[in-house]
Amino acid sequence: MTQARARYGIAARVYLSAQKSKFDDRRDDEVTAKLEVQGVVQENMADLLKEAPLTSVQVEALVVMKIIKHCSQSFPLMTTGFLVGMDAKSTLEITNSFPFPAVEPPPTDTYHDSSNISQLAAAAPRSKANGVYQNEMIKKLREVNVDANNVGWYTSANLGNFVNMNMIENQYHYQKELNERTVALVHDVSRSSQGSLSLRAFRLSPAFMLAYKENKFTVESLQKSSFRYQDILLELPLQIHNSHLLTSFLHTLPSTTTTAPKIPNSLSELPPTHSLPSPLAPNLSTLTLSIDPFLSQTSDLLLEAIESHHTELNNHQYYQRSLAREQAKITAWQQKRKAENASRALTKQTPLPEDEWQRLFKLPTEPSRLEGMLNSRQVEQYARQVDGFTAGVTGKMFAVRSNLLPEKME
């Protein structure tokens, strides 16, 4: 009886172990299948995000305030920083920003040139030291479980002067090396000081990315691809997003009083002129009829950009004249060599090589047309700003035209 019980217990344990192994194998197969499905879903989502083009940029209000503060404190020197956030299908959400370390001149330099400091600050986004700093900051952000995806960089500008080689190289570095779906935010401090925020988002077009990678900016390549200076930068619509808590706080701010103002009876009853207006009060300073103070500065910058454009055109015309002279020399040499070979053929002598001109003559190298295209894009930017300045002043002048014209005598 005891041996039968022992054999029964052994058989039961063997049966249970076999069932457990089957259950474990089934569970492992299910987990493996789930992981494979999740991997396929993630790959498909990544492919969909890459295929869906960016159509808009959403910036948190806190990020806007941080960018404004950083750019205003260092004005008129250029400032840069990097942006973090997340990519939500066709919208790029920017949730935080961090400035790059301030550029300090070397201690051995007794004469600090502001232009050199500005050049170093403009090249900061693609420097190796700031790349290490950016990676360390993103690593710390991931440890606290916040958005830590690199989504671009920002820079300051003065009266729209931002279309240059530094911006192109920085954005190309971000779109090619770090993340293809990145943007460059440009904050114009001078324009924002007039009361309206100037914050714009730009990306490099795919056609320009390909041309810049191959460094093909010759006249022939541009004619074949039909590439224009308007196709260099793509501007994306920008939207500022507030949290629900901040929106509730804005609604609790006191509004303007609707009661009739009290007429003072003496000078002592006049309200102080330094009293601040209530929050969200209308700004009546925009109704002034004076000409925009930045209009003359923008016009001067426009003339400088046009002169730079003419300089690039003169350089290209000089190249064409040099090329024509060299080609004329080559044609004359080839004709002379053909005549010599004809005379040597009559005397049954060995003809001389006719491709020797490649060693004797050197054709001039065609200059790149990229700088001229950037100047054209900058001229267009200044022209739009002048149009915007004059449109506001002209509209206000037409509004008060009846008061400015003398009345007709009946």
Average pLDDT by consecutive 10-residue portion of the chain (410 residues)? Answer: 55 56 57 47 46 80 88 83 85 87 60 59 74 82 81 86 86 80 88 80 87 82 82 88 82 64 67 54 62 75 85 85 86 85 82 78 80 85 81 73 59
What is the pLDDT at residue 44? 47
Report DSSP state, residue 391.
H
As a residue count, the chain comes to 410
205 vs 67: CA distance, rounded Å: 25
What is the pLDDT at residue 40? 42
233 close to 205: Cβ distance less than 8 angstroms: yes
Helices (H), 53-148: 61-74, 114-122, 128-143
Q: What are phi and psi of 58, to 5 degrees?
A: -115, 120
- Residue 11 corresponds to which tokens in the numbers above? 């058989």
**pLDDT tens track for 330-386:** 888 888 888 888 888 888 788 778 777 777 788 778 788 888 888 888 888 888 888
Would strands 149-157 and 183-188 be described as parallel, antiparallel, or unpaired? parallel
211 close to 224: Cβ distance less than 8 angstroms: no
273 vs 345: CA distance, rounded Å: 102
Helices (H), 227-369: 244-252, 294-346, 357-360
Report DSSP state, residue 147.
-
**Is the pTM here over 0.75, yes or no?**
no
Give the Å distances, CA to CA, from 368 to 178, 190, 312.
27, 32, 10
Would strands 80-88 and 149-157 be described as parallel, antiparallel, or unpaired? antiparallel
What percent of the chain shows pLDDT beyond 90? 1
What is the pLDDT at residue 104? 63
What is the pLDDT at residue 271? 62
What is the pLDDT at residue 290? 62
Q: How far is CA 155 from the centre of its chain?
A: 8
What is the pLDDT at residue 314? 86
* Sign of the C-alpha dihedral computed for residues 298, 304, 309 and 312 taken in this order: negative
Reduced to 3 states (helix: H, G, I; strand: E, B; else coil), residue 189 is helix
44-46-50-52 Cα dihedral, nearest 10 degrees: 60
Say how many C-beta atoms besides its own lie within 10 A of residue 175's C-beta. 20
What is the pLDDT at residue 404? 60
Would strands 238-241 and 56-60 be described as parallel, antiparallel, or unpaired? parallel
200 close to 163: Cβ distance less than 8 angstroms: no
167 vs 381: CA distance, rounded Å: 15
142: CB partners within 8 A, 6+ apart = 148
Reduced to 3 states (helix: H, G, I; strand: E, B; else coil), residue 242 is coil
- Residue 67 corresponds to which tokens in the numbers above? 């960018």
- Residue 392 corresponds to which tokens in the numbers above? 């506001």
Give the Å distances, CA to CA, from 188 to 183, 297, 317, 383.
16, 14, 35, 16
